A and B are shown apart, each in its own frame.
Chain A
Amino acid sequence: MDQDLEVDRVSKRYNAHLAVDALSFAVPHGSFFSILGPSGCGKTTLLRLIAGFLEPDSGDVRIGGHSMRGVSPNRRPVNMVFQNLALFPMMSVGENVGYGLARRDIASTEIRNRVAAMLKRVGLPGAEGKRVDQLSGGQKQRVAIARSLVLEPTLLLLDEPLGALDLKLREHMKIELKQLQADFGTTFVYITHDQSEALVLSDRVAVMSAGRFEQIGTPQELYYAPHTAFVAGFVGANNRLSGTVQRVDGDIIELHTAQGLALHARCTEHVVAGNEVEAFVRPEVVGLARDAAGLATGTPYYTGRIESLLFDGANSTVLVREQPTNTEFRIALPQTGQFADLRESEMIVFGFDPERAISFRGGNDGR
C-alpha cells in the first residue's frame, strides 16, 4: 500500500528539551492514524513538524512520497484542523470553506459549486451564508473539516479537535469523524490525549511518551498486548502492582508485592527471581464471587472487603481491599446484574487468570 506519510528519524529539540526524539513511522493511504500521549509528550510538536509550522532539526518528513524539507505550510498537501478549530469569525461559513480554494485562484463560480457540494457532504447543505457564531459546536467541527477537505489534501491533521466539546457531543462527533474519514477516504493523522478517542477512531495508534513512540499497533494490540509498562498503564484502566519476582515458571511468574500479596502474572521479558516487576491487571479480567465456588477453578483467589461501589452503568466498578494485605483492586462489575445488591464493607472473593495479567520489568519505566 502507498504510504501517504513517512516520518524518517525526525528530531526536534527546544533548548535542552528533546521534544521529538528520532521518530520514524509511516501512515498508509486512506487510514486513520492516531498519536496518543499525555500532554507534554511531544505530540503537538510532531504534528506541527508534519504541517510545516516547525522544521525538524534532523530527519525528513515525506508526504505522498515527496520530501517536505523547506516546503512552507501553505505549499504542503496537508491541512490541519486546529484544537480550537480556528474558524475565521470575520467570514461566513461559505467564505471559510472557500478560503483555501480562493487562494488557488480558482474561478468564483467554481468555488461556489465546490463549497456547496462540500457542505452538503458534511451534512450542512445551504449553510454558506451563516455566520460562524451561529453554528453549534458540532457544526463548527464539520465546517472546520470541510474547510480542509475541500482542498483535497493528501493528509488531514487533527489536533485534538474534540477537546473543547462537552462529553455528549464528543461521543457523537467521534462517530461522525470516523464516518467522514470512511466517506472521504482521506488519510487522517489525529493527535489526542484521550485514549477512548484514539481507540474508537483509529486503524492504528501510536502511544507517545517523552518524544518517542512506546508502541505502534492496532487499538486491540495496544489494549491486549501492551509492549511496555507505560502503554499498559496509559491505555485503558489497569490495576498496577509492583513487586519482586519469586519464581519463574515459563511465561508465568510469581511476584510478591511490598505489602506481602502474592500473585501470578504473565511476563514476556526475561526475568529472574529477585527482579523488580510491575504487573497490570485489567478490572474486567478479575472475576468476582460471593464465595470461592463461584470462581473459575484452578486460578488463585483472594478475599477482600468492598471499600466503595463506583456505579457508572455499563462501566460500573468496585474498589476492593484485599485482606489481609489491604492492597486496592479495581474490579469491573459483570453486566448481568448479579452483583446489583453489593454493599460497601461486604466481604467478597475475587481472582484472575494469570495468563491475562501482564507484567514488565519495573522501576525505570514506571510513569
Chain B
Amino acid sequence: MADRLRSRTTATLAGDLVAPHMRLALFLLLAPALLWLLGLIVLPHVDLAVLSLRTRVAPRTYELGFGNYRTFIDEPLYWHTFVRTAVMSIFATVCTLLIAFPAAWYIAKIARGRAKSLLFVMCLIPFWVSETVRTLGWMILLRESGVLPRLLVELGITAKPVELLYHDTTILVGLVYTSMLFMVVPLVSALESLDDSLIEAAYDLGGNGLSILRQIVIPHAAPGIAAGSIIVFMLTLGNYLTPTLLGGKNSLWFTEQIYTQFITRFNWEQGAAFGFLLLVLSTAIVWLGLVVTGQKFGDVMRRS
C-alpha cells in the first residue's frame, strides 16, 4: 500500500497516462484515428502491393513477379510521364514558394490588424468553391473563345484569339494557384515567429536586405518553407483534376496514367504498380529535399 502510494506520488504525467485504466481510455480515444489509418491507408496499400506483384498471363491466370514494374521501365511513355510529373511538380513547388513568400511576408510582418485578417481570408476564399469549379473558371478565362484571348485581340496584341489552354504553362499556373494557400499558411506562421528585433539588429550591424534574407529570415523560416514545400509538392504530384482539365489530352500527368490503368484499361495490377511507384517517388523526393536543406522531418511537421 505504502509502495503504491509512493509510486502514485512520484508518477509523472506520462506515467499516469500509461496506468492501466488510462491506457484503455487512450486507446479508445485513438481508435477512430487508428481505424482510419488501418482501413484507408494500410489495408489498401497492402492490397495494392500484392496486386502490383501479380501479372496477368492469361484471362484469370496470374503469375507472381515484377512484370508490372518491368512494363513501366520498358515503355518510354510511362517513365517519361513519371519524370515529367516529378520535374513539373518540383517546378510548381518552387514557383509557389517564390510567389507565396512575399505574400506571406506582407501578411506576417507588414499588414496590421484588420488588413492582416482580410488578406488571410482572401487567401482562403477561393477554397470555398470546389476545385472543379475553380479550374473551370480558369478554363473560361483561358480557352480560345474565352475572356483573356478576346481581350488580347481587342487590345491589338494578337491578330486572332489564341488558345491559352492545354499548355504546360497553363498546368503550372493552375497548380500554383491551387497550392498557394498551403504554402502561405506555414510561411506566415514561420515568419510571424521571427522576432522583428533580429532583423533590426542585423540591419543595425551593417546587414543589407539580401544578407538579412539569406542569413536571418530564411534560416529562421526554413522549417516553414520545408513544410509548405512538402505539402505543395505532394498535393501537386497527386493532383488529377488540374492537369487533366487545364492540360487536356496532352497533359501527361502520372495520376492520369494510374486512372487509365484502373478505370479505362481495367488493368488493376499495372495501376497498383504505378501507384506504388508514385508513393516511392514522393517519399524519395521529400526525403532528398530534407537532406539537402538539412531539415529534420519532426521539426518541419511541428511547424506546419
Taking beta carbons and an 8 Å cutoff, which residues of A are in contact with B?
51, 53, 72-75, 78-80, 82-84, 86, 88-91, 99-100, 103-104, 147-148, 151
Cα distance, A74 to B209, chains bound together (Å): 10
* Structural contact, A80 and B219, CB atoms closer than 8 A: no
A74 touches B197 (CB 8 A): no
Proximity bits, B195-217, A CB within 8 Å = 1, else 0:
10110111111111001000110
Which secondary structure characterizes the binding site on chain B? helix
> What are 27 contact pairs spanning A and B, CB under 8 A?
A51-B204, A53-B204, A73-B204, A74-B206, A74-B207, A75-B206, A78-B204, A79-B204, A79-B205, A82-B200, A82-B201, A83-B197, A84-B195, A86-B200, A88-B201, A88-B202, A88-B215, A89-B220, A90-B220, A99-B202, A99-B205, A100-B205, A100-B207, A103-B205, A104-B206, A148-B205, A151-B206
Count CB-based A-B contacts (< 8 Å). Answer: 59
A86 touches B195 (CB 8 A): yes
Chain A residues, Cβ within 8 Å of B204: 51, 53, 73-74, 78-80
Nearest CB in chain A: distance from B162 CB, A: 47
Question: What separation, in Å, do the CA atoms of A148 and B203 have in the docked complex?
Answer: 12
B216: A residues at CB distance < 8 A: 88, 90
The 10 A-B residue pairs with the shortest CB-CB distance in the complex, in nearest-first order: A100-B205, A86-B201, A103-B206, A90-B219, A86-B197, A82-B197, A74-B206, A100-B206, A80-B204, A73-B204
Q: What is the total number of residues of chain B having a CB less than 8 Å from a CB of chain A?
A: 17
How far, in whole Å, are A245 and B206 apart by their CA atoms in the complex? 58
CA of A246 to CA of B205, assembled, Å: 59
Chain A residues whose CB sits within 8 angstroms of the CB of B195 once the complex forms: 84, 86
When each residue 162-205 of chain B gets 1 if its CB lies under 8 Å from chain A and 0 otherwise, what string results? 00000000000000000000000000000000010110111111
List chain B residues, Cβ under 8 A from A88.
198, 201-202, 215-216
A residues in contact with B202, CB < 8 Å:
88, 99
A80 to B197, CA, bound (A): 11
**A104 nearest in chain B by CB position:** B206
Other A-B pairs beyond A72-B203, A74-B207, 6, CB < 8 Å:
A53-B200, A73-B200, A73-B204, A74-B205, A147-B205, A151-B205
